[in-house]
Structure 1
Amino acid sequence: MRRLAGSWIFLLVLLVIDIYVFQALKAVADTWTPRTKLIVFGLYWGVSVLSIALMLGITFTNYESWHRLLRTYAFAIVIGLFLAKLLASMFFLIDDVRRVVQWVGSLFVPSWNPKNTAEGTGITRSMFLSWAGLAVGGGLFTSLLYGFGNKYKYNLQKIALTFAHLPEAFKGFKIIHVSDIHSGSFTDKEAVMKGIEKINAQKADVVLFTGDLVNYHADEMKDYMDVFSKLEAKHGVYATLGNHDYGFPTGATKEEVKQKQLANAAGVVEVHRKLGWKTLSNEHVELERNGEKIAILGVDNTSGKMNFPSFGRLPDTHAAAKDIPFKILMSHDPSHWNHEITPNFKDIALTLSGHTHGMQFGVELPGFRWSPVKYVYKQWAGLYEEAQQKLYVNRGFGFIGYPGRVGILPEITLIELT
């Protein structure tokens, strides 16, 4: 019921923004020919009606039964248009607030008549802000369309990490770290296979996958079992569970929801097994090289933020590996690092996480990185260090929600221990 009410509210907001943006479009089209207006206005409302129709379909039909390609792009189009129009509306709102202030000012100072012309442009401020809003909103939507072509452009990120207490035998040890596969979003098997081939070409000693194999259900993997079963490494492939691996079930009680989450997770663990991967569910494995050992720990999803499922038991997992000095932890959600790991488990040298995807949207330049997700997660992409501990947040192999990447490419991380 709450989901239905939320959908109606979103539809209402969508319609209001559509009308609001259209007023600005009419203003800038004032000097256009009738034919041009007819074409542009027709396209505008055609796309808007399509967006609303898709939202109605998502709300009132079995969305998960839609063809994967349609399901992947329908939601992205609705949200992309909404964000673009919302951003454009901010400019129009500035103009409306300015005009209200002028009107109120004229009530008290009748002679007050501030110039309404942008300096040196010869156009009114209203027209300038309307054009600016449409340009910025259109630019955002265009960039999102461009990003559709980046979702399978796997970026190999190589990084060497130095640890003072790393056993000598493990210097030069190579780890492939991948996260957030989200197989339910894939629509191009050949493109995904190229990503797997890129991983295998690195000839890593071990592959570590930090969760979110699926979007909602384990059966999303059925068409990609033959692809991911080809992952290989000398010491094997190890995996943990992410929040999506538990699904998003509903129930009358918290206990009922919990049992459904655990059942979903069990299905994902079974998929791991069939792929030849070992799931580290609050447990560890010891890797040996020339008589020396390191421990790979894996915990079930544990979050220090929001209401994500938290089934991790790090104290128990850590205690079982207490005799191995050098420890690497796989934990899906990077908020776990400052929530529990750095305060209480200072001998965990390296934590590997994912979850954020870098929001699949941002800017990464030498010396400057930005993504909207930084306002939610302190550690959202790449390497972080505190004292002697390190955290690496993988930007995600797959995608969800938005079937694309803008500025934040899908990532395969190659870590060399030194």
Structure 2
Amino acid sequence: MARILPIIILLWFFTDLYFFQAVLTLSPPPIYLWAYWMLDGIVMAFLAGIAFLKIGSEAQQRLIPWLMGCMLLLFIPRLFSLPILLVEDITRLFRGFPSRNVYVSEFVLFFASILFLIILFGITRGRHFYRVRRETIYFPDLPEAFDGFTITQITDVHSGSFTNAAGVQKGLDLVNAQKSDIILFTGDLVNNRASEMDRWIPAFSKLAAPLGKFSILGNHDYGDYVQWESPEIKRENLARLKLIHSEIGFRLLLDESVTITKDGQSIVLLGVENWGARGGFQQYGDLKKATLGVPDDAFKILMSHDPSHWEGVTLHHQQAIQLTLSGHTHGMQFGIDFLGFKWSPIQYFYKQWAGLYENAGKYLYVNRGFGFLGLKGRIGMWPEVAVITLKRKQRN
């Protein structure tokens, strides 16, 4: 972080100086101008201090989320206001650079204030502003008994980030309220340590579905992002986490399959360990092992935490896998997701990052996540409970 700190500071102050022109146009009292720069100074001082803390230390992990929230509150409204000021400057260039228009500056400050309030909501209430997202997917090879079969998917709980029991319970109640046939959890139950889940076991154990609850591991579940006293303690942590899955009533699938039967017909549920195409993420998952002994003509649903596994492995697998369910991206917990339009910076890193995708009749659904990590909130990318309905499509 120390390497990119100068870049962050330069970008921060360039944005501030440009936005500050609109503030000056309105001739505010001097105390407001002092406050404007004092807030910047405080945030930059904290950023410099955190950058030189030990990486992964408890102090750094505790302070970074709060710093991220403050930076977003101050930076994003200014950044998104810059295009308006830039357009005005282009027109001023052809008019001999007169003074800034007061009305334009007032509009910029109004626009920035709206963005400020949205971000403030996101980092204070957005973390538990759960949304139910529904998708109906049609398959010609879906067994008749599963026509109308419902799946509730949650992912990326990150229980180590939770502090508000009532907020978490609101999300869990929403899961049960869907009354789906099956509940699937697609990884990252904790941030790093199995003990993070201890206080939440009673609440999560009350999730219920008539045909069962199934889960897989995500990249954070392996404990790869913290320093352990010894390899043995790290292995014990993972073993404990696996037990917790059973304690909350979930069947953990580790590169294996299970058959779901209904009215004499069946589908196959597959679960693989984490596999990520991007550098730094583990490739533990083994889809060949998971499909061992599974009939080629079986209708298959795959749980795979990282959506890059879909294009990296799943689409090219020797057996057709009709539906894959993933998470991992969180929608970056920041973006625009409104009336069918969605944008987030995460899309420049992951081709499939939120919602439903299709390729040659095979589908991937990427859940935006139930919990949060890093930033203690969600801005525009609200926490999600996904309900997927399978329908049988008549063959032509």
User: Normalising to structure 1: TM-score of the pair?
Assistant: 0.79
| Letter matched to residue 12 of structure 1 | P
**Which range is displaced more, 323-332 or 200-209?**
323-332
| Letter matched to residue 183 of structure 1 | S
Contact 2:92-2:98 within 8 A present in 1 as well: no
Gap change, CA 1:70 and 1:187, over 3 Å in 2? farther
Match of 2:122 in 1: 147
| Letter matched to residue 326 of structure 1 | F
Contact 1:185-1:400 within 8 A present in 2 as well: yes
Q: Which runs of 5+ in 1 are unaligned?
A: 1-5, 99-114
Asked if 1:12 corresponds to 2:6, the answer is yes
Q: Report the Cα distance in structure 1 between the residues aligned to 2:272 and 2:185, rounded to whole angstroms.
A: 12
Q: Report the Cα distance in structure 1 between the residues aligned to 2:297 and 2:64, rounded to whole angstroms.
A: 46
Contact 2:19-2:78 within 8 A present in 1 as well: no
Match of 2:248 in 1: 275
Match of 2:375 in 1: 402
Gap change, CA 1:52 and 1:313, over 3 Å in 2? same
1:41: how far off?
2.1
1:389: how far off?
1.1
**Which range is displaced more, 183-192 or 116-125?**
116-125
Match of 1:183 in 2: 159
Gap change, CA 1:395 and 1:70, over 3 Å in 2? same
Count residues with an aligned counterpart.
Answer: 390
| Letter matched to residue 169 of structure 1 | A
Contact 1:203-1:233 within 8 A present in 2 as well: yes
Asked if 1:248 corresponds to 2:224, the answer is yes
Gap change, CA 1:116 and 1:293, over 3 Å in 2? closer
Q: Report the Cα distance in structure 2 between the residues aligned to 1:228 and 1:347, rounded to whole angstroms.
A: 33
Match of 1:300 in 2: 273
Q: Report the Cα distance in structure 2 between the residues aligned to 1:25 and 1:381, rounded to whole angstroms.
A: 32
1:172: how far off?
2.2
1:9-408 correspondence to structure 2 within 5 Å: 9-21=3-15, 23-24=17-18, 27-28=21-22, 36-53=29-46, 56-57=49-50, 59-60=52-53, 65=58, 72-78=65-71, 81=74, 117=93, 119=95, 122-123=98-99, 141-148=116-123, 149-249=125-225, 264-322=237-295, 325-408=298-381
User: Normalising to structure 2: TM-score of the pair?
Assistant: 0.83
Contact 2:25-2:105 within 8 A present in 1 as well: no
Question: Residues 46-83 of structure 1: CA distance to partner in whole angstroms, max 9, x if unpaired?
Answer: 34314522551464268764599866433332465456
Q: Is the partner of 2:280 in helix, strand or coil?
A: coil
**Which range is displaced more, 355-364 or 280-289?**
355-364
- Structure of higher CA gyration radius: 1
- Greater RCO (Cα-Cα under 8 Å, separation 6 or more): 2
1:349: how far off?
1.1
What is the identity percentage for the equivalent residue pairs of Structure 1 and Structure 2? 36
| Letter matched to residue 255 of structure 2 | N
| Letter matched to residue 167 of structure 1 | P
Contact 1:51-1:78 within 8 A present in 2 as well: no
Contact 2:22-2:108 within 8 A present in 1 as well: no
**Which range is displaced more, 364-373 or 339-348?**
364-373
Q: Report the Cα distance in structure 2 between the residues aligned to 1:118 and 1:129, rounded to whole angstroms.
A: 17
Q: Report the Cα distance in structure 2 between the residues aligned to 1:385 and 1:76, rounded to whole angstroms.
A: 35
Q: Is the partner of 2:379 in helix, strand or coil?
A: coil
Q: Which runs of 5+ in 2 are unaligned?
A: 392-396
Q: Report the Cα distance in structure 2 between the residues aligned to 1:92 and 1:122, rounded to whole angstroms.
A: 14
Q: Report the Cα distance in structure 2 between the residues aligned to 1:58 and 1:220, rounded to whole angstroms.
A: 25
Question: Residues 197-254 of structure 1: CA distance to partner in whole angstroms, max 9, x if unpaired?
Answer: 11111221111000011122222212222221111111221110111112334789xx
Contact 1:72-1:185 within 8 A present in 2 as well: no
